[in-house]
Amino acid sequence: MKVLKFLVCFAALWASTLARNRSPLLDEDKGLTRNKAAECIFGKEIRELGSQWIPDLGVPIGVLYCMKCECVPFHRKRRIVARVQCRNIKNECPEPTCDDPVLLPERCCKTCPGDNKNEPDVIQDIVPQNVIEEEERRINHFGALLTGRSSLDLRNDSDSKDLNKNNVVATGRFTFHKRNLHYSFYISEKAARPRSLHFLDNQGNILEEFTLSHAGGLVNSLYQNATRKVCGIWRRLPRDYRKLLRNEKMYVVLIWGTKESEFTLSGRLSKYVSLASEQFSSLLEPAPGTDSAKMAGSGGMAIVSTLSSPSPSIHVAVIFNGLFTSHENFDVPINIILGLDEKKQILLEENIKVRKPASDLNYIELSSPISLADLRSLSRGRVVLTVSSLSEPNNLRLSGNVITKITCEIFQTTLIGDKDLAGVTTGLAWMYLNNQGALIYNIQIDNALNEPHIKSITVTLSDIAGKKKAEVLTPRFDSGWANGTEDRMVHKVLEPLYNNRLDMRVGVGNGTLHGHLNAKLVADARDAPAPLLLKRENYTLSTSVLGLAWVSVDNDCHIHYDVSLSGLGHERKMEVYLEMYPIIAPGAPVLLKHLEDFEGNSVEGSPLEALTKEELDMLDSGVTFMKIKDFNSKIVLLSATITKLTLPITCRPLYNNNVPLIYDVPGGRPTEDCFFEGKFYKKDSTWVSKNPCQMCFCQDGQTTCDRMTCPDLKCPRNNVTIPGECCPVCSDPEIVKSNKKCLFNGMIYSSGSKFHPFLIPLGFDDCTVCTCDPVDLEIKCRRIETNSAKCGKGSATETPETLRDDDDIPMGGWPMIRKEDVSNSAMILKEGGCKNNNNPDKPYKNGTSYHPHIASLGEYKCVTCKCQNGTQKCSRERCEWKNCKMIFDFRKGRSKANKRSQFLYSDYCCSLKECRKIRHKKKIEERSSHKQ
C-alpha cells in the first residue's frame, strides 16, 4: 500500500513536470508545451477537462491499474484551470459475491465470472461517434452582441465604463465543428484590435483566454488585417463547457488597454436559427446626432439572409439594446428601415413591437419581398440598416452598413486539367469577401512559366445547380499567378458561394482547369498568407491526384497545418511530415518532423509541443518540404515546397545568419556538418576548395583551411601550371603531352608535379615533399633534410605508394596498394579484415583498432581507426586544453632555456592556431565565472 501511495504521488508529480511551460528559444532540449486552462497534459497526451484514465508511466513502471487519474477543474480567483488528480482505487473495489473471484488482465478489482457490473477500474469515458455528430448538429451556430449593457457587465470594474467613451460595439459568430469552437468578431471601426479574449461562465469565472494582439495591435494575418475581423479557434472544447454552450450559459469578453487601464465589452453566446443561412451582417452603433448619455453602452447586430428564386426575398433578424425609455416596459414599437444611404432611398420599412424589453438583449425579425436591383445593392455593400425608437427617433437610434457576413471564412479549391491539360498542369485558387462586398481572389497555375506563349487566362464562376455561367473575372496574370478584385459582385454568385455550390473554371491556352469551391473557417493554419500546391511526386498516381495545404506558426512557436487532398480516396492511410533544410545545397543535413498519420482526404492539427530551436532555425532561414507518404509502402505521394515559412518575431532566432549552426538531427544523422562555398561537408571530412592550393577539413561544425606553398622546382624558368592543380611542373613536352596522373588523398596530380601532403589538424606538412613519379605513376615522398627548428634534423626517406580511385582513404592516411599477395593476408581480408596501406602483407584483423601510418610522421596517433567487417572508420582525437597547456609550457621553456630545437605539434594532436582559440575561450569563461 505504501508503494502504491508513493506511485500515486509520483505520477501526479511526473505529469505536472511534463506539462510545465518552457520558452522554446531558451530550452535546448524541447519546445514549449501547449497547456490551455481547459485541458490537462499527461505525458505527451492531452486530456479533456472531466476525463478519466488509467495512467501508463512507461518504462520501467508501466500501467498502474489500481490508480485512476482525472482532469479536474481548479479555481484560482476568477480563473478555472485544469490539473491532473490521481487516486488509489483499490479500496473502492466492491466485495465479490462469489467464493472464487478472479483478477482479470489489465484490471485492479477481482470479479466473479459473468459479473458485468460497472467497476471503479473500468473507464467509460469514450463518447460514441454518432453522439458527437448529433451534438455538432444541435450546437452548431451561435452569435453574441458585445456592448456595455451586457448582463455580465455588472462584474466589470466601474471605471471600465468611463474608458469606453466612443461607445465601441462588437459582434461575434461562433461555429462548433469537430469539438472545436471557431470564433469570429467584427468591431467598431473607431476601435483598435482588442488585446485579449476571455470565455466565461455565467458566474464570471474565466474558462479560457486567448491573446489577440501584441503591442500596437499587430497581428500576423493577411486575412484579418484586410477584413478587420478577429478570428481564432478554441480547440478541444471540454464536455462540460459544451453543455454550458448548449444551455446558453457561456459569455465572451473582449479586452482593450493595459491591466492598469483597460475596458471590456461582453456578451452572451446565444443560439440563433437564422445564423445557419446568414449571408450578410450588420454591426449597429449609436447613430450620429443621438443622445450620447441615453445611448451609452448600447448597440446591436443584424443577421441577414436572402433568396433570389423563385421570387427575391429578404429575412432580417435584429438583436439590440438601448432603444427604450425608462417608462416603456411592454409592447414597445421599434422602427426598422433598410435604405440606400447616399440616395436617402428606403428599400424596406416596418414597425415591430417588442413584448418585454430587456436591458441587454432584445430580438426582432422581419421578412419581405425585395427587388433584384435591391439584392444587387445589398451584395455591393450599399445598404444601411437603421433601428430606432418610435417615441424618441432622434435620440434613440442605431444604424450600420449591411456587409458580407461576419464569420471568418475563405473559399478554396484545387484545379485539375481537362483532356488537353491532364497531367500537364494543375493549380489552386482561394478567395474571400471583404467588408465592402468585393471578391478578392488568387489563382496559381503550375508550370505556366514553362509555357511562354500563355499571356492571359480566363476565369469563370459557375453555379453547379444551374450549370450556367454566373460571373466572369478578369484577373492580372503574371509569372503563373492570377490575382484580382471583383468590386461589382452579383447576388447570384454570393448565394451559391455560401452554400458550397460554386465551381471555378480557368481557361489556359487551349485547355481548361476546373475545381469546386469549398468554404473553410479561418483559424491557425488558414491564417497563413497563401496555401501550398501539393503536386504528385509519384507519377504512377492518377493525374487527378492533387492537394492544397496551409501551414503557419503562431506567436507561441507552435506549427499548424491543414491539408486537403483529392483523387486518393477516403480509406488510404497516410502520413504528413516536413523535411527541413538550412539551405538547398549539396550534402545539406535534413530535419524530419512527423506531423500526423491520417485516413481520408483531409487532416488538420498542431503538435502538442512547440517547434524546437533547431526546427525554428531551419524554418527561418532555409527551405522546407511538406510531403504526404503512404503509411504502408512508405512511398512519397505528394509534396510541396515552402521556400521560407514566415515566423512571428517571438520565434525568430537571436542571430542573423544565412546558414545557422546545424544542431542535433533525429535518427542518428551527423550533427556537426560544415557549410563552405555553397556545399555541406560531413564531420571530419577533407576537401579541396575552389582554390586548388587550399585544403580544408571539418571539425565540430567549423571549417579549417590551409594554403599550400609549392616546393621549389629544378626548372624555375621552364615550368607550366596545369589547370585545376596548385603547383607547377617542369614543362617537359613528353610528360605534359602524356597527360598521365597520380591520385593521392582524393586529389589528382600531373606526372612530375611536387607538393606537400595535407595532415589533420596541422595543415600542409612543409617538411615533406611528395612527387608524382612520371614513370610508374607512384607517389613518392621524402623528408626534407634541414637543421631548422620547424622540421628537425634527419635523413631523407622515400616511401613509394601507388593509389587507385576505388581505394578507401582513411582520414589522414595515405592509401597504398602493392601487387604482392600473401595467402595469410588474403584469409584475413576474407574474414572481414581491412587493408594495411603501410604494409599490405599485414592487413588489420576484423575488430581491431589502430593508428594509420604517414610517411612524414610515422604512426599518426592523433587518428584512431577501427576495422569492422572490411570497412575502416577513422576518427581524430580532439584537441583539448591539457594538450595545449603542454604546448604552451614547452614553448615558454624553449624560449627561455632553449632546451630543445625540434618540436612537432602532431605529437599533441593540436595546431598552435587551435590552442590559441581554446585559450581565448577559456579566458572568457573564467571572466564570466568571476562576475557571477
Q: What are the sequence ranges of the domains in the chain?
A: 2-92, 277-407, 409-522, 881-931
- Grid coordinates of 120: 471503479
Average pLDDT, stretch 400-405? 93
Looking at mean pLDDT, say which of 817-826, 833-842, 854-863, 866-875 comes out highest.
866-875
SS3 state at 733: helix
Give the CA diameter of the chain.
Answer: 120
Residue 668 has a pLDDT of 37
CA neighbours closer than 13 Å in the CB half-sphere of residue 578: 27
Secondary structure of 287-326 as H, E, C letters:
CCCCCCCCCCCCCEEEEEEEECCCCCEEEEEEEECCCCCC
Q: Convert the pLDDT of each residue in 725-760 to its tens digit.
A: 888 888 766 666 667 788 776 677 888 888 888 877
Do residues 639 and 627 lie in contact, with contact meaning Cβ atoms separated by under 8 Å?
Answer: yes
Average pLDDT, stretch 435-446? 89
Indicate if the pLDDT at residue 821 is higher than 50: no
What pairing do the DSSP bridges indicate for beta strands 871-876 and 863-868?
antiparallel
Residue 184 has a pLDDT of 97
List the one residue out of 508, 512, 560, 567 whose CA is nearest residue 535.
567
Going by pLDDT thresholds of 50, 70 and 90, the confidence category of residue 23 is very low
Residue 733 has a pLDDT of 65
Indicate if the pLDDT at residue 390 is higher than 80: yes
- Grid coordinates of 820: 604482392
Residue 215 has a pLDDT of 61
More confident residue, 288 or 673: 288
Domains 277-407 and 409-522 share a fold: yes
Whole-number mean pLDDT of the chain? 80
List the one residue out of 768, 748, 743 whose CA is nearest residue 860.
768
- Grid coordinates of 454: 500563355
Residue 922 has a pLDDT of 83
What one-character-per-residue DSSP string does 443-499 give?
EEETTGGG-TT---EEEEEEETTTTEEEEEE--EEETTEEEEEE-S--HHHHHHHHT
Residue 896 has a pLDDT of 45
Residue 676 has a pLDDT of 85
Residue 22 has a pLDDT of 35
What one-character-per-residue DSSP string does 555-620 give?
TTS-EEEEEEEESS-SS-EEEEEEEEESSS-TT---EEEEEEEEESSEEEE--SBPPPHHHHHHHH
Residue 86 has a pLDDT of 92
How far is the C-alpha of 692 from the C-alpha of 672, rounded, in Å? 25
Indicate if the pLDDT at residue 902 is higher than 60: no
Which DSSP category does 407 fall into? S
Q: Convert the pLDDT of each residue in 180-213 to its tens digit.
A: 999 999 999 988 899 999 999 988 999 999 988 8
Average pLDDT, stretch 116-139? 64
Going by pLDDT thresholds of 50, 70 and 90, the confidence category of residue 163 is low
Residue 18 has a pLDDT of 42
Going by pLDDT thresholds of 50, 70 and 90, the confidence category of residue 531 is very high
Q: Which run of H or of E encompasses 724?
A: none
Give the CA dihedral 863, 864, 866, 870, nearest 10 degrees: 20
Considering the domain 409-522, what is its CATH architecture?
Sandwich (2.60)
**Peptide bond between residue 113 and the one before it cis (omega within 30 degrees of 0):** no
What one-character-per-residue DSSP string does 699-717 give?
ETTEEEEEEPPPPP-S-TT
- Grid coordinates of 928: 564570466
Q: Convert the pLDDT of each residue in 448-462 to its tens digit.
A: 555 555 667 888 898
Lowest mean pLDDT among 111-125, 408-422, 868-882: 111-125
Q: Which run of H or of E encompasses 73?
A: strand 67-76
How far is the C-alpha of 633 from the C-alpha of 651, rounded, in Å? 36
Average pLDDT, stretch 39-65? 86
Residue 900 has a pLDDT of 44
Going by pLDDT thresholds of 50, 70 and 90, the confidence category of residue 30 is very low
List the one residue out of 707, 700, 810 whose CA is nearest residue 758.
707
How far is the C-alpha of 905 from the C-alpha of 918, rounded, in Å? 15
Residue 785 has a pLDDT of 63
Residue 17: how many other CB atoms lie within 10 Å:
8
Residue 465 has a pLDDT of 61
Indicate if the pLDDT at residue 904 is higher than 70: no
How far is the C-alpha of 881 from the C-alpha of 922, rounded, in Å? 9
How far is the C-alpha of 539 from the C-alpha of 398, rounded, in Å? 60
Q: Which run of H or of E encompasses 251?
A: strand 250-257
Q: Convert the pLDDT of each residue in 135-155 to its tens digit.
A: 666 668 999 999 988 877 544
List the one residue out of 370, 187, 373 whose CA is nearest residue 263.
187
List the one residue out of 381, 431, 386, 388 whose CA is nearest residue 280.
381
Residue 282: how many other CB atoms lie within 10 Å:
28
How far is the C-alpha of 298 from the C-alpha of 322, rounded, in Å? 5
Q: Does domain 277-407 have CATH number 2.60.40.200?
A: yes
End-to-end CA distance of the chain: 47
Average pLDDT, stretch 553-570? 90
How far is the C-alpha of 835 from the C-alpha of 846, rounded, in Å? 10
Residue 640 has a pLDDT of 94
Average pLDDT, stretch 227-232? 93
Indicate if the pLDDT at residue 633 is higher than 80: yes
Lowest mean pLDDT among 282-296, 652-666, 737-751: 652-666
Contacts within 8 Å (CB) and 24+ apart, 65-72: 65/106, 65/107, 65/108, 65/121, 66/4, 66/90, 66/108, 66/121, 67/4, 67/7, 67/8, 67/11, 68/120, 68/121, 68/123, 69/11, 69/15, 69/42, 71/39, 71/40, 71/42, 71/47
Indicate if the pLDDT at residue 347 is higher than 60: yes
More confident residue, 423 or 204: 204
Residue 117 has a pLDDT of 67
Q: What percent of the chain has pLDDT over 90?
A: 30
**Peptide bond between residue 310 and the one before it cis (omega within 30 degrees of 0):** yes
Q: Where are the beta strands (DSSP E) in 686-786?
A: 686-688, 694-699, 702-707, 719-720, 729-730, 741-744, 747-750, 754-755, 758-759, 763-764, 768-772, 779-783
Q: Convert the pLDDT of each residue in 476-521 to its tens digit.
A: 887 788 888 888 777 778 888 888 889 999 888 778 899 999 999 9
